[in-house]
Amino acid sequence: MILPQGTRDVLPPEWAWREHLRRKVSASFSAWGYQGVELPALELQNPQHPQDARAFKLIDRGGEVLALRSEFTTAVQRLVRLRFPGGPFPLRLQYGGRLWLRTQASELGRQREFTQLGVELIGVATPQADAELLSLSLSTLEAVGVKAHLEVGHPGFLDALLEDAELPEPLRLRLHDVLDRKSGPDLGTLIRSHGLSGDLERTLNAVNELYGGPEVLQDARRLNLGTRAASALAHLERVAELFGRERLLFDLGMSRRYRYYSGFTFRAYAEGSPRQILGGGRYEAEDGLAGAGFAVGLERLTEVASRHLPQEPEVVLALDAAGAEHARSNGLIAEGSWTDDVTELSRYAALRGIRRGVRGQTFGPLSELLPEVTA
């Protein structure tokens, strides 16, 4: 049977590798105080959801429209409103699980069914909190053997520049997109087709080039900034100071892949890989509660993480129940025999690479133990 487009099977070797990475990532989150939550895969359909147009939808038996979970941040926001209305804040939560999209266009995976692991730091909006997330992201990647660099931006900075110019929202959204993609030709086309002023054209072209090391922040200071843009830049400078500005790349044209991001945003790229493996940022929920977080794409992490799986315990073939219990109590993996047919057991053991068996408390080569099985 052919699988639906954008889905795939995961076979035992990859499954073991993924589970190892999942445990390592979760342990890293836990070490920083992030407690786990589990969120339903089914949600009530909401036209205001940032992924509503791309979500899988289904009709409940009562006629209610449901949606398969398509991203985690809004789900965590719902959980906090219902379960932690009074905190205590800051609230540190971690999650993990599958997401589904009708179109293959996820930031952290190109499948229509994929897995993310992530954290949310809720109830505070300080530079210290943002710097914590940057540190946690690199620490988590290092825990699985990934050397990565972080690119940091601030959509609020770009928002302020565009809003101060009193541009209509549809045009602001299009400019967000072309600046995020670093598309000079598209930017020029938009500027010409909408007759933007020469001063704004120079500012936007400058922003499109504001990518690089700490010198980018100094270059941004030289622009004609309004109060809001200057405040956003000051926040980013403070985050960089706390984290270590020399450890960051700055992209002041970085925009909002999800429209709820209003503060700083960041992305991680593994050395030698052009694809993002981690991303996140700061947002403000509908009720005004501040939050920030990031997610790791598990599928992409499996591609770039250093393969250093711990050696698995030896697998033995247990010839009776007592032998199986004895092997497992000694930390071994015991597969039970399901037949008295010596030929079948020998053939299976050879295919699986199992060389030893156990009966009772006696271990030995299968070539010695199997003939003793009663045919």
**Count of other CB atoms within 10 angstroms of residue 67:** 19
Question: Strand 65-68's sheet: what is its strand order?
Answer: 42-44, 65-68, 57-59
**Domain count along the chain:** 2
> Residue 245 corresponds to which tokens in the numbers above?
């500005």
Asked which of 274, 304, 334 is the last residue of a domain, the reply is: 304
Measured between alpha carbons, how far is 252 from 318 in angstroms, rounded to an integer?
A: 62
Measured between alpha carbons, how far is 358 from 364 in angstroms, rounded to an integer?
A: 6
Specify the pairing of strand 276-284 against strand 261-270.
antiparallel
Task: Say if residues 94 and 29 touch (Cβ distance below 8 Å).
Answer: yes
pLDDT score recorded for residue 41: 97
Measured between alpha carbons, how far is 116 from 248 in angstroms, rounded to an integer?
A: 24
Task: Say if residues 18 and 10 touch (Cβ distance below 8 Å).
Answer: yes
Whether residues 202 and 88 fall in one domain: yes
Residue 362 phi, psi dihedral angles, 5° rounding = -110, 120
Whether residues 113 and 190 fall in one domain: yes
> Residue 9 corresponds to which tokens in the numbers above?
């099977």
Whether residues 267 and 338 fall in one domain: no
pLDDT score recorded for residue 359: 94
| CA 255 to each of CA 51, 122, 274: distance values in angstroms, whole numbers, following the listed order | 17, 21, 18
Question: Would 234 be classed as within a structural domain?
Answer: yes
Question: Would 4 be classed as within a structural domain?
Answer: no
Asked which of 251, 273, 304 is the last residue of a domain, the reply is: 304
Whether residues 204 and 349 fall in one domain: no
pLDDT score recorded for residue 82: 94
Whether residues 254 and 355 fall in one domain: no
Domain limits at 140?
A: 12-304
This prediction's pTM: 0.85
pLDDT score recorded for residue 310: 72
Question: Would 310 be classed as within a structural domain?
Answer: no
Among 111, 221, 99, CA closest to 157: 221
Q: Tell me the DSSP string of 289-344.
A: -EEEEEEEEHHHHHHHS---PPPPPPEEEESSHHHHHHHHHTT-EEEEP--S-HHH
**Count of other CB atoms within 10 angstroms of residue 11:** 8
pLDDT tens, position by position, for the chain (375 residues)? 789 888 999 999 899 999 999 999 999 999 999 999 999 999 999 998 989 999 999 999 999 999 999 999 999 999 999 999 998 999 999 999 999 999 865 454 468 999 999 999 999 999 999 999 999 999 999 999 999 999 999 888 888 888 888 888 888 888 888 887 888 888 888 888 888 888 888 888 888 888 999 999 999 999 888 888 899 999 999 999 999 999 999 998 877 554 667 788 999 999 888 889 999 999 877 777 899 999 999 999 998 886 666 778 999 999 999 999 999 999 999 999 999 899 999 999 999 999 999 999 999 999 898 875 444
Measured between alpha carbons, how far is 132 from 172 in angstroms, rounded to an integer?
A: 31
Asked which of 267, 282, 304 is the last residue of a domain, the reply is: 304
- The one-letter code for the residue type at 273 is S
Measured between alpha carbons, how far is 26 from 118 in angstroms, rounded to an integer?
A: 9
Whether residues 299 and 328 fall in one domain: no
Task: Say if residues 111 and 6 touch (Cβ distance below 8 Å).
Answer: yes
Whether residues 297 and 329 fall in one domain: no
Question: Would 269 be classed as within a structural domain?
Answer: yes
pLDDT score recorded for residue 308: 66
Whether residues 208 and 327 fall in one domain: no
Question: Would 7 be classed as within a structural domain?
Answer: no
> Residue 114 corresponds to which tokens in the numbers above?
């994929």
CATH code at 147? Answer: 3.30.930.10
Question: Would 274 be classed as within a structural domain?
Answer: yes
Whether residues 191 and 238 fall in one domain: yes
Report helix, strand or coil for 66: strand
Question: Would 240 be classed as within a structural domain?
Answer: yes
Question: Would 6 be classed as within a structural domain?
Answer: no
Helices (H) and strands (E) in the chain, counts: 13, 16
> Which residue is listed with tokens 């719902």?
78
Helices 155-164 & 227-243 angle (0-180, nearest 10): 170
Whether residues 340 and 231 fall in one domain: no
pLDDT score recorded for residue 326: 96
Whether residues 94 and 123 fall in one domain: yes
Task: Say if residues 122 and 75 touch (Cβ distance below 8 Å).
Answer: no
Whether residues 35 and 81 fall in one domain: yes
Q: CA triplet 198, 200, 205: central angle to 5 degrees? A: 95
Task: Compute and round to an integer the Cα radius of gyration of the chain.
Answer: 26
**Which secondary structure element, helix H or strand E, spans residue 237, and what is its range?**
helix 227-243
